[in-house]
Amino acid sequence: MRVLSGIQPTGRFHWGNYFGAIKQYIELQHEHDGYYFIADLHALTTIRDPSLLRANVRDAALDLLALGLDPSKATLFVQSHIPEVSELYWILMTGAPLGLLERCVAFKDKEARGIKADAGLFTYPVLMAADILAYDSQCVPVGEDQNQHIEVCRDLARSFNAQFADTFVMPTARIVKDTAKVPGTDGQKMSKSYDNTLGLFEDAKELRKKIMRISTDSRPMEEPKDPDTDHLYQLYSLFATDEQRQEVRAIYERGGFGYGDIKKRLADAADAFLNPLRARRAELASDDAYVAKALEDGAHRARKVAREVLSRVQKACGLT
């Protein structure tokens, strides 16, 4: 089964990105034909600084490789390196109903919050559909908030198939349930837009300081507490072993502890998990040739598939 996922290079990855999505995507590379792309075309809707975008793309590639994406098992590439996707995007745009795009949540949400929403954001779901359909993707892991875009993709593919020929593979969504379960430093969902993130590769000392400043409630130390409703425990659970989780759960239920102790445990557990990843990333950062070749090889494999799909589409609608 071919699995596809893309991630925007709009900033450095944080714990929510990894445990909520990237971890599951990377695990799938061992079982399926994984296609993973860095969505720099999508990022243009928010990043207008060319040097920043280039740096973010490189950082995203380094991070994904350090986190375990294996170029010998999965196809890693940069979205804009596959020009066939942009042509497919336009072909899909010519048949995309205006009302369908007007109902999409991302655009409506920005409008409701008074944020400038341009045509790129409005047509974002069509480019996302082109990303998916260009590689004959069968499965797309997404959070529940992105499922609507998969439905848009299926609608566009179904409409094209019905009007011209049975051309597109129909993808299905694989809902990643854990995307909402990674809290930020303030207890809300971890997100760059909330400024409550804990970075995967930020300096260890700075990360520890952030952890020690995580907001907690003001209940007395001696009072028992429910670990399942506490964001500090939820963060600790990301890194802890089953035995460690049970030990800390018992502390919560018994009471008589300070949050400072839990924060120290969290910082230690995070360090133990992240230090090998930091070392791997530092090693990769000194080997530009390896990273460049991984992206080049990935783009070569991805373009081969995209060319075949685009050729089918062009033939079906009369462009050749």
Q: Give the model confidence (pLDDT) of 77-114 as tens digits.
A: 999 999 999 999 999 999 999 999 988 877 777 777 77
Residue 222, CA distances (Å) to 39, 185, 260, 270 in order: 49, 23, 14, 27
Contact 189, 183 (CB under 8 A): yes
When mean pLDDT is compared across 110-114, 152-156, 271-275, 310-314, the lowest value belongs to 110-114
Residue 108's pLDDT is what? 73
Calculate ∠ Cα 182-180-271, nearest 5°: 15
Checking if the pLDDT of 116 tops 90, the result is no
Catalytic residue among 110, 181, 210, 264: 110
- How would you classify the pairing of strands 2-7 and 33-38? parallel
Residue 145's pLDDT is what? 74
Q: Helices 242-254 and 231-239: crossing angle, nearest 10°?
A: 160
Q: Give the model confidence (pLDDT) of 8-53 as tens digits.
A: 999 999 999 999 889 988 999 999 999 999 999 999 998 999 999 9
Q: How confident is the model at residue 216 (pLDDT cuts 50, 70, 90)?
A: very high
Q: Helices 124-133 and 147-163: crossing angle, nearest 10°?
A: 70
Q: Find the mean pLDDT for residues 48-70.
A: 98
Q: What is the pTM of this model?
A: 0.92
Contact 278, 204 (CB under 8 A): yes
Residue 209 designated active-site: no
Q: Give the model confidence (pLDDT) of 240-254 as tens digits.
A: 999 999 999 999 999
Mean pLDDT value across the chain: 94
Cα distance between residue 311 and residue 320, in whole Å: 8
The full set of domain ranges for the chain reads 2-180+288-317, 192-282
Checking if the pLDDT of 304 tops 90, the result is yes
Residue 264 designated active-site: no
Q: Give the model confidence (pLDDT) of 130-182 as tens digits.
A: 999 999 999 999 877 788 889 999 999 999 999 999 999 999 999 876 545 79
Catalytic residue among 73, 181, 192, 264: 192
Which CATH code of 3.40.980.10, 3.40.50.300, 1.20.1250.30, 1.10.240.10 fits the domain covering 192-282? 1.10.240.10
Residue 225 designated active-site: no
Residue range 2-180+288-317 forms a domain whose CATH class is alpha beta
Which residues on adjacent β-strands are paired with residue 33?
A: 2
